[in-house]
A and B are shown apart, each in its own frame.
Chain A
């Protein structure tokens, strides 16, 4: 899977929007962009994924750049419960070991009340 780059940490205030960036300049045309998050002392949790168009679900929105070399996970109103490590990964139908996830260090999001 192609590599992604994320900031190590970000801070947000409660009830404000949060934009979490991810760079993936070597993305291939068949790679999907996935986001997971991991709350303290819990297993990772799927958030959202997309290919080219922006995506919305109940948890977040995913904005994908036109050239697909970067994307942004948007939490519209951060809550204290959103404090977690957010992982941006690329998933392909080709290569990898039977589709196992490969997480980097991710972005640790802190939310201040």
Chain B
């Protein structure tokens, strides 16, 4: 597709359940970011993938959060034993990647996000 897609668009779950959120980045873009945005707040960085390099997981808030990227394309963010404070919009971004990824002139293309509500 032409843009970044995410699924599901909305997810309501009960506290303690596991959830999986999916991101399909722009074809050919080698880098991928996950962010989350709580109501009325700015972006919170979660994790970054760049090609075959080890991901930068420095933003993951706890060990209940994990992410993988298969075949350098689709990425899945998994939250285990969800808590109410995990409720937020989870956003995936696909920057141009390559030498420009993360650089001063790089721009990021965001998906529509997944709104997660933990009851």
**Residues of A participating in the B interface, judged by any CB pair closer than 8 Å:** 30-32, 34, 42-46, 49, 87, 91-93, 96-106
- Give the shortest distance, in Å, between B40 (CB) and chain A (any CB): 8
B93 within 8 A of A: yes
Say yes or no: A105 contacts B102, CB within 8 Å. Answer: no
Complex CA gap A45/B113 in Å reads 12
B108 within 8 A of A: yes
Say yes or no: B108 contacts A103, CB within 8 Å. Answer: no
CB-CB nearest in chain B for A103: B42
Cβ-closest 7 pairs across A and B: A99-B102, A43-B110, A103-B42, A100-B45, A32-B104, A98-B48, A46-B107
Interface size on B, residues (CB 8 A): 27
Q: How many residue pairs at the A-B interface have CB separations less than 8 Å?
A: 71
Main secondary structure of the interface of A (DSSP, over half): loop
A96 proximity list for chain B (CB < 8 A):
102
B110 proximity list for chain A (CB < 8 A):
43-45
**Known contacts A46-B109, A92-B104; A98/B43 CB under 8 A:** no
Interface positions, chain B 83-119, Cβ under 8 Å from A, are 91, 93, 95, 101-113
Say yes or no: B43 contacts A44, CB within 8 Å. Answer: yes
CB-CB nearest in chain B for A45: B110
A-B contact pairs, 23 of them (CB 8 A): A32-B104, A32-B105, A42-B113, A43-B4, A43-B91, A44-B108, A45-B110, A46-B109, A87-B42, A91-B104, A93-B104, A96-B102, A97-B56, A98-B56, A98-B101, A98-B102, A100-B35, A100-B48, A101-B45, A101-B108, A102-B43, A104-B42, A106-B42
